[in-house]
Structure 1
Amino acid sequence: MPQTLLALGAILAFAYFAFSQHQATADVEKSVVSAEYEHAAAEVGQSRLAAVTAYPFDEVDLHREGVRISPSGLSTVGRDDGETAEAHFDDVDDFHAAPARPVDVLWVGQPLAFTDSVSVRYVDPATLAPVAGPSLAKEVTVFVRAVPVGWIGTPPIVAELRQIVTPTR
């Protein structure tokens, strides 16, 4: 009888040890997968930010020669008439509040799904604080979210990248 209890105790101890090892391995795998998603999300955000900031600063400067030195005449943030899809966008602020778009990327041979969205606002060129009207600086922010959002009890995977653009870049 004592040997049976000892054997049962040894089995329980081994089961507890095996479960603990499995849990630790699962936690490491979750961390690695999350890190991979975060890295991929940052790359998606960098690519989107580069694409958006490659556009001209403002609609009114599309055919302008010389450097703009005054904010007078700049348009408000947002799309102009007829700019209903990205194919029609012609300046940085047209991307503001456009619908989030799905982005799929291959990462280490596996497809990862994200959505990205863009926010644009005028900021004070000296302080980078938001301003109500046009100024000579715009803050472009790209938000990238992983789909699915993650495991239960873990924060969603999100990348947020910002860049200030000016008429002279």
Structure 2
Amino acid sequence: MASLPQMFSLATPEKDDDMLKFVLRGHLLDCYEWMYFPFMAETINHGRRDVSVDEYARKGLQMSVDRIRKNQPGFNHRHHGTWLMLRSCTRSALILLAASHSHGVQDLMPEGWQEAVKSAMDMLRFWEEEVSDARDRLHIITELMNDRRGSTYSSS
């Protein structure tokens, strides 16, 4: 980030981003997500907890919420990144749900994670008639949300 030319600096407010900066921020979010993924996997899948692992797992879970929130303005618009947005936001929702189902990880869950998952569900619902796998992914996420809360979310 520090080596970017001034005109591409991400030190500016996100609300002022043009398309190029928006895409750069998305790629940076990808990098962070992949850096934190091993820590989330260790915590979620194997229950490994210590100060360092917790710090990076927490950051990774926050990145999952951030990915969904930052992409939300484009959820209902066809654009150059729609295909990837559907997949990456669905992945983020599934990571959050996996963590929420994992025993002993609830203290790492970021604020607003459920709202982020619901937003991803809305995105999939919008595209389910047009994108063949959106309906299946929506069904999976809906079932996981229902299992988590004991309540009933509708996938349609």
TM over 0.5: no
Q: TM-score range by the shorter chain?
A: under 0.3
Larger Rg: 1
Q: Which has the higher strand share?
A: 1
* TM-score with structure 2 setting the length: 0.26
- Larger RCO, structure (CA 8 Å, separation 6 or more): 1
